[in-house]
Structure 1
Amino acid sequence: MPVSFGNDADALEAAQNGVAICDRSHWGIIQVTGSDRIRFLHNQSTNNFERLKPGEGCDTVFVTSTARTIDLATAYVTDDSVLLIVSPNRHEYLMEWLDRYIFFADKVELADITGKIAIFSLIGSKSSELVTKLGATEIIGQPYGTHQLLNQVRIAVGSGLATPGYTLIIPTENAANIWKMLVEAGAVPMGDRIWEQLRIQQGRPVPDKELTEDYNPLEAGLLQTISFDKGCYIGQETIARLNTYKGVKQHLWGISLDASADVGSAIMVGEEKVGKLTSIVESDRGFFGLGYIRTKAGGAGLKVQVGETTGEVVDVPFLSRISG
């Protein structure tokens, strides 16, 4: 996992105005097969798998029985399997967790293929130009998660961030050649440091920071991953109750900060604690954080104190939320 290619400013510029390429092969990937695979995943996570056809995909959240978040995953439905891209530190846990819910009569098999498959993200407004060079013209302009297999490379709409782009799933033996070809075609290599900066600035939550057993997907701003009309699944009753009775007590927000602060610091309004800082990053535009803030305290525009510094609550593009 390269932290940086020594070109952070160029990579950031490319992600914003051109095309950057990020190696996400340290993320987990789980392959789900068997004739019951769609029904199984439909019952184990928040999104509606039964509406998906081969060549389509979605983001979904795995939650506990009390709707606490385990991970935000991206699923791609193929003719004979579902591929799940999961967070780097979650594939082993999710393998064990999902296996617990496979019963004797279920025709479902799980395979952890992390390390056997490379994952690249093309990030930026000019990503479609490179995808065209790969020959995947059919997915350009299609909905998020739409994917196509070309010469053993699966190309999917969506960069993993709020920035437009594509995700490439590649057998490891072909990964170096594909990377070289894309860089020669104009993609600027981007290390994990800029990925982390972008994911905080855009509001993508991750496990152990924004996604923990302290928070549910509605609080985490993952409304776009939840189907409210698909019926029973693990955690469904709690999520439905929170939605129906406006029971979301806190929301994840971006926070523009005047100086650095420690992760875990209390977010204050006057003498009142209204939340907690979960992530922070320094960029050329200053310090920026993510944090949970009580719904009744307010939202965008709220002035806050975090540790020894001050800040302002702002919207971030990755998140969608309901009123509390």
Structure 2
Amino acid sequence: MIEKLQDIQRRNGAIFEPMAEVIVPVSFDNDTLAIEAAHQGVALADLSHWGLLKISDNDRIRFLHNQSTNDFQTLKPGQGCDTVLITSTARTIELVTAYVTEDAVLVLISPNRLQEIIKWLDRYLFPMDRVILTDLSKQSVIFTIIGAESDPILAKLGVPLPIGDTYASHQLLTINDLEVRVAIGSGLGLPGYTLIAAANDGAKLWSILTEAGAIPMGERVWQELRITQGRPFPDCELTEDYNPLEAGLWQTISFNKGCYIGQETIARLNTYKGVKQRLWGIRLQASAQPGTIITLDDDKIGKLTSVTETNSGFFGLAYIRSKAGGIGLKVKVGEIEGEIVDVPFLTHEYYS
């Protein structure tokens, strides 16, 4: 199962390190090639260390609708969405992707967060609720293909395109005799697809994709992409210090769906333009540590949350006070000069 997949990945040059109680390929000793593939060709990332939760039984849609920010009542089987789990005061718990099937909802959860999310959801289950939570993580592999050439690779493998007409649309398909759920979206601000299959089929599916031309990508490059593309991540940008409006996740929020946990606070922030800080990208003249205070004319205006080194220099994500400004703002990160820039994954309603 997973051992066979790891053997195949080692033959691809994988270097493994522990993460989320498992070992993951952090690099395939091809980081520059993988970055180029993600932007100009197609890269392949193994996200099997992420959590996969199945929510089933008759009340599954109503339950998820009431526990998260997006509108599940309008979704049909074969559709999906990103949604945020938040506290009663609208503080961020987790950003997840949900895929609605005929008899369940599959929920993709960040690494090392699944058990926490199951416990949190279980708190809101009442004896009369017909909802079953099932951990599918060890039974599944999760791959993403990322890049402009994702469609040609899938077409080469006989996948009928288009999969659907919206983000997170998905179909259960056969790829070389393997049953694979193929969903639109790479989870980043780049084109691509998410593939979910049985763990037993992981090694064969990985081989099929690489033989078709996908370039293996390790966790190190994936993290670089998620920072430069602007995807917020647990313990970095997604913490209970921030709400999803501040985190630039407006696209995950329905303002018309009615009550859900944290809805009153979200509605109030939107109505009264109460978003006091926003998440942005930041170009840096040198490296800086996450947590470093950001200043403008010696006034504290924000905090650096993530940083990575790219071929063109250092890049980070940072929360910046709304009144201080946004794109183009020149700031100091500690003693390092920085400039606030837009990133593809994030949306800010007041700037749209």
**Match status 1:88 vs 2:111:** yes
Secondary structure at the aligned position of 2:221 is classed as helix
Which residue of structure 2 aligns with residue 282 of structure 1?
309
**Match status 1:197 vs 2:197:** no
What are the Cα deviations for residues 63-110 of structure 1, in whole angstroms up to 9, with x where unaligned?
011000011000000001000001002101000000111101110000
The code of the aligned residue for 2:154 comes to: V
TM-score (norm 1): 0.98
Tell me if structure 2 keeps the 8 A contact 1:68–1:215.
Answer: yes
Residue pairs, 1:89-238, within 5 angstroms = 89-140=112-163, 142-151=165-174, 152-238=179-265
Which residue of structure 2 aligns with residue 4 of structure 1?
27
Residue pairs, 1:27-66, within 5 angstroms = 27-66=50-89
| Distance in 1 between residues matched to 2:47 and 2:156, nearest whole Å | 21
Secondary structure at the aligned position of 2:103 is classed as coil
Which residue of structure 1 aligns with residue 36 of structure 2?
13
1:140 deviates by 4.3
Which residue of structure 2 aligns with residue 241 of structure 1?
268
Which residue of structure 1 aligns with residue 277 of structure 2?
250
| Distance in 1 between residues matched to 2:313 and 2:272, nearest whole Å | 38
The code of the aligned residue for 1:227 comes to: S
| Distance in 1 between residues matched to 2:139 and 2:307, nearest whole Å | 32
| Distance in 2 between residues matched to 1:52 and 1:155, nearest whole Å | 17
Which residue of structure 2 aligns with residue 293 of structure 1?
320
1:165 deviates by 0.2
1:319 deviates by 0.2
The code of the aligned residue for 1:201 comes to: T
Root-mean-square deviation (CA, aligned residues, Å) is 1.0
| Distance in 2 between residues matched to 1:206 and 1:276, nearest whole Å | 15
Which residue of structure 1 aligns with residue 290 of structure 2?
263
Residue correspondences, number: 324
1:113 deviates by 1.3
| Distance in 2 between residues matched to 1:251 and 1:265, nearest whole Å | 16
Per mean C-alpha deviation after superposition, the further-off stretch among 137-146 and 201-210 is 137-146
Which residue of structure 1 aligns with residue 340 of structure 2?
313
Secondary structure at the aligned position of 2:102 is classed as coil
The code of the aligned residue for 2:101 comes to: T
* Structure 2 residue runs without a partner (length 5+): 1-23
| Distance in 2 between residues matched to 1:43 and 1:139, nearest whole Å | 31
Tell me if structure 2 keeps the 8 A contact 1:135–1:150.
Answer: no
| Distance in 2 between residues matched to 1:175 and 1:229, nearest whole Å | 40
1:246 deviates by 0.2
1:139 deviates by 3.2
| Distance in 1 between residues matched to 2:275 and 2:349, nearest whole Å | 8
What are the Cα deviations for residues 202-259 of structure 1, in whole angstroms up to 9, with x where unaligned?
1100111000000000000000000000000000000000000000000000000000
| Distance in 1 between residues matched to 2:142 and 2:168, nearest whole Å | 15
**Share of identical aligned residues, percent?**
62
The code of the aligned residue for 1:175 comes to: G
Per mean C-alpha deviation after superposition, the further-off stretch among 127-136 and 142-151 is 127-136
